[in-house]
Amino acid sequence: MTSCGGTGHLSTRVRENCNSEEPNRSLAEFADPAPLQPDYFGALQGLADCTPTAEQRKGMLMTKLDHVIEELVTGNRILAREGVVDSFGHISVRHPDNPQRYLLSRSRAPDCIEASDIMEFTLDGMPVDGGGRPPYLERFIHGALYEARPDVMSVVHNHSESVIPFGVTDRAIKPIFHMGASIGHEVPVWDSHDHFGDTALLVENMEMGRDLAKLIGAGATALMRGHGATVAAKSIRQAVYVSIYLEVNARLQKQAMDMGEVKFLTRGEIDKVAERTGPYGINRAWENWCRRAGRPFQAEL
C-alpha cells in the first residue's frame, strides 16, 4: 500500500549532478541504485488511496514547473556548450500549466543562466511578474510560434555561425547526413527586408514574429537572412537536438560543396530517418550533452 508522505516522494529524481568543476567523472558514478521514476502521472496514480491536501497539490504543481525550468536551464547551457549560441540567442518552453504562457530567461547570455533568471510571458511578449528584469528584445519570435502552432512546446532562436552563409546566398541548406535529417525536407529563409524594409534585422515586435512563424508554417526551422535561425519543436530536447544538427549540417555541407557536387539525402531517406528519431536517440544525445555542459540528466516527465 502506498503511504501518504507529502510531495517529496513525487519529485522527479535526478541523477547526481554533473559537477562542472569535475567534468571528467565516469558515467558509472552517476548510476542510481534505485530505478528512475519516468512517469510523473503514474506516480500520482499510486497515491489513489490518499487525498492530497491543498498544500500538497500546490507542491506537486511547483515540482512539475521546477522540473521544466531546470530542463530549460540545461537547454541553455547545452546550446552554449555545443556552440549554437554565444552571448546571444535563447530557448523557451511553453508553460506546462498554461498553454497561453511561455518561459524564457531574462536578457542574459545562455551559458550564465540560472533557474532564478527564468521569466514567464504572455504569448504577445508581456512579462508576468517580471520584477523589473529586462527581457530579450527578440522574445516575440517565441510567442508568435506558440500562438501559431499548438503542437510546438519549445523554440530556439540562435545566430549559429555556420548557417549564416546559407541565409545570404542562393545555396539552400539541405540534409547532407542522417543526423541532419531532423531539419526537414526544406529550410526556408525569412528575409525581414521583404515586408519590413531596412531594420536592425532583429525581430522586435509581434508583427515580425508572426511573419516569421508564417514562413516556418508546419516545418521545424527557418534561416533568417543576415541574422541566424529559429527552430520549433515538440520538446526542449528536440529543439536543442535540431538546433545542434542544423549547425553541424551547415558546417559539413559547406565542406562538401568545397569538394565538389553534393549528393544530399533523398526525400524518402529523410522520412525514414525521421521515423527512427524518437526519445531513445534524443535522450542518448541529451545525456551526453548534459555531461559535457555540467548539468544533471533529469528523468523525463
| Separation CA 264–CA 254 (nearest Å) | 12
Size of the site for Zn ion (CB under 5 A): 1
- C-alpha to C-alpha distances, 176 to 10, 179, 258, 281, nearest whole angstrom: 44, 8, 14, 19
Binding to Zn ion (CB under 5 A): which residues in 129-148?
138
CB of 225 to Zn ion, least distance (A): 12
CB of 224 to Zn ion, least distance (A): 7
Q: Which residue lies nearer to Zn ion by CB, 199 or 266?
A: 199
Catalytic residue, from 138, 204, 207, 287: name it: 138
What residues pair up with 105 in beta bridges, in sequence order?
A: 118
Binding to Zn ion (CB under 5 A): which residues in 166-225?
none
Q: Which residue lies nearer to Zn ion by CB, 175 or 209?
A: 209
| Separation CA 65–CA 84 (nearest Å) | 26
CB of 29 to Zn ion, least distance (A): 38
Binding to Zn ion (CB under 5 A): which residues in 46-105?
none
The verdict on whether 138 is a catalytic residue reads yes
CB of 141 to Zn ion, least distance (A): 8
48 Cβ neighbours under 8 A, 6+ residues apart:
2
Nine-digit cell string for 185: 525536407
Classify 32 in phi/psi space as left (phi over 0), alpha (psi -120 to 50) or beta: beta
CB of 228 to Zn ion, least distance (A): 5
Helices (H), 175-230: 192-196, 206-216
Q: Which residue lies nearer to Zn ion by CB, 10 or 204?
A: 204
Q: Give the residue closest to Zn ion by C-beta.
A: 138
**Is 243 exposed, middle or buried (CB count within 10 Å of its CB: 0-12, 13-18, 19+)?**
buried
Contact of 120 with 129, CB cutoff 8 Å: yes
Q: Which residue lies nearer to Zn ion by CB, 110 or 175?
A: 110
| Separation CA 236–CA 201 (nearest Å) | 26
Contacts to Zn ion by CB under 5 A: 138
Catalytic residues: 138
